Amino acid sequence: MSERSPRRIPEATVARLPIYLRSLLEVSEAGTATVSSERLAEMAGVNAAKVRKDLSYLGSYGTRGVGYDVEFLVYQIRRELGLTQDWPVVIAGLGNLGRALANYRNFGARGFHIVGLVDSDPGKVGDRIGDLSVRHIDELAALAAESHPAIGIIATPASVAQDVADRLVAAGVTSILNFAPAVLSVPDHVSLRKVDLSIELQILSFYQQQQQGHGVPGDDGDTPGGRVAS
């Protein structure tokens, strides 16, 4: 790991790395070996100076007049994000959203390996989804002892989300992605992120309203966070 940059990477940069990675994989699929910061910036919806600054945290500076080596940059970002290792994931709550997530191909493609599905509904226990059967949430400890999930995804109703989070933590999960519309408490050693599927609609609403007669959208070249126009 001596190659790894010792610099702390700002949160905002961390949040853009998956966007760069997605853009690079598209470039790579098109068979292109190098990419300029300008092209990457355009694809990721930020400005080129920000791309260069962000990538400098990874110790990646590109070559003047040539750009970045796509494959090497993919490797660097994957390594920095921890995607060169396999993360075992457990999904709690197998309603429509949980099922959609269990079938979501992008997870596997990014190194996330779903090792368990749990629900409290006896009507769902035993259902086959992909390669797995849904197990009762009371079996979470047993499941954790077998397959050691590091990451838990909560796709339950809000009313039970805290209880599920507590069970995931007790089972040894140290990162939680919460899709339930609930504010959760977890111990300090557990990372918690929340997804609100309505956020993007609200951003679209802004631009929709602008279209309808409030001038042009602002553009500081800095579209933050996981979702960009493409």
Q: Rounded to the nearest 5°, which phi and psi values hold at 226?
A: -40, -5
Angle at 100 between CA 98 and CA 106, to 5 degrees: 115
Binding residue for a second copy, selected from 66, 141, 145, 199, defined by CB under 8 A: 199
Distance CA 81, CA 14 (A): 8
123 binds a second copy (CB under 8 A): no
**130 sits near a second copy (criterion: CB under 8 A):** no
Token pair listed for 198: 């309505």
Three-state SS at 151: strand
Q: C-beta of 219: minimal distance to a second copy in Å?
A: 6
Residue 64 burial by Cβ neighbours in a 10 Å radius (0-12, 13-18, 19+): exposed
DSSP code of 63? B
163 binds a second copy (CB under 8 A): no
Distance of closest approach, residue 20 Cβ to a second copy, in angstroms: 11
Per-residue binding letters, 22-61, with a second copy (x by CB under 8 A): x---x------------------x----------------
Q: Scan for tokens 């962000």, then name that residue.
A: 54
Task: Give, in degrees to the nearest 5, the angle at Cα 45 between 205 and 181.
Answer: 45
- 63 versus 216: smaller Cβ distance to a second copy: 216
Q: What are 97's two structure tokens? A: 């959203």
Residue of 55, 117, 151, 154 that binds a second copy (CB under 8 A): 151
By CB under 8 A, the residues from 70 to 109 that bind a second copy are: 80-83, 85, 87, 89, 95-97, 99-101, 103-107, 109
Write down the least CB distance from residue 65 to a second copy, Å. Answer: 27
Minimum CB distance to a second copy smaller for 136 or for 228 = 228
Element (H, E) at 191: strand 191-194
User: CB under 8 A: which stretch of 18-26, 66-74, 137-145, 162-170 binds a second copy?
Assistant: 18-26
